[in-house]
Amino acid sequence: MEPAFDARVAAWLAQRALDPTESAPGVAGARLHARAVGEKSRALLADPSPAASETDATVPPGTRGTPGTPVRVLRPHGDRPRPTVVFCHGGGWLGGDLDTHLQHARRLCAGLGAVVVSVGYRLAPEHPYPAAFDDCLSVTRRVAADIGEYGGDPARLVVAGDSAGGQLAASVAIACRDLGVALAGQLLIVPATDLAGGYASDTVNARYPSRARCGEGYGLTTEAMAWFADVYGAGEAAGDWRVSPLRAGDLRGVAPAVVHTAGYDPLRDEGAAYAGALRDAGVAVAHRDWPTLNHGYFSLGGVSATAERAAAQAVADMRRLVFPGAKGA
């Protein structure tokens, strides 16, 4: 018998559905709704220990010819060498920004004692695939090259992301392996990992039963994922590892991973499959599944005690990678 869906999250979703932006149409409407409900969930959260500074900047173009990319750099207190996290926000490749996911970045900054470089990558449909991937990779490479200006510890560079940002972080980690950019780890929260078929193929969807079992009624829907994938514009490239890291032919040598999935999430099974594929390739993996939670749990700590515990655990798992053997890790 499956564990029951978290009652507090269920009540939250019912209230969220009453927001006036729920039926706002199109991409602009999706962005408006995500911002509105995100602000409500953040208002329920206790801020983690504030960063010493939060600074907006622009990372210069990388070697791939990308434009300069806006980032927000969060720095913890103290001046000793720090881990550095390049964070890729979620939002279906068409929404989310430096503000909607500020609490995610603050949690990582406080929990890891890390400098966090949150990436304001270009969004679809104005900037379709591969713009988001190019921006996230360009920032990661630049941060690695200029690590002294950021955390200062080249042995502790991490990529992280949630949902669509989890896909971007996973794909960036593969690219970093191929380019010789050393990463200490990758943190993937409820990641999308297989866009082949665009969430509209019965054959591909059958590989991941959670797409049907949790495809509606728990926040994120499989129908919405199909729309996101279509707007992202990956098309025929959706089987490429830059879009679908689970489709990579060889995962050997990519950075150690922390992968967290949620039981009531249509992306649950592809996230678990990616954790398994990494493990089969000899990559160190810490995979946790939260059977009573849904896709957006990382921002619902003010709604559900279980969601708060899960979000804190994800950071703690990442800390064990960044500080192996450290007391309290």
Q: Which listed residue (163, 171, 210, 304) is catalytic? A: 163
CA distance linking residue 249 with residue 99, whole number of Å: 35
Would residue 153 show up in a list of annotated catalytic residues for this protein? no
Would residue 127 show up in a list of annotated catalytic residues for this protein? no
Q: How far is CA 147 from CA 117, 150, 155, 294, in A?
A: 11, 5, 10, 35
Question: Do 243 and 172 meet the contact criterion of CB atoms below 8 Å apart?
Answer: no
Q: For 263, phi and psi rounded to 5 degrees?
A: -65, -30
Would residue 77 show up in a list of annotated catalytic residues for this protein? no
Q: Which two tokens stand for residue 196?
A: 């082949």
Q: Which listed residue (295, 299, 304, 317) is catalytic? A: 295
Q: Is the dihedral of CA 92, 97, 103, 105 positive or negative?
A: positive
Going by their DSSP bridges, the two strands 285-294 and 257-264 should be labelled as: parallel
Quote the Cα angle for 176-178-183, to 5°.
30
CA distance linking residue 24 with residue 329, whole number of Å: 44
**CB proximity list for 119: less than 8 A, separation 6 or greater:** 69, 71, 86, 87, 88, 89, 135, 136, 139
Q: Which listed residue (240, 265, 269, 317) is catalytic? A: 265
Q: Which two tokens stand for residue 264?
A: 């009531």
Catalytically active residues, by annotation: 163, 265, 295
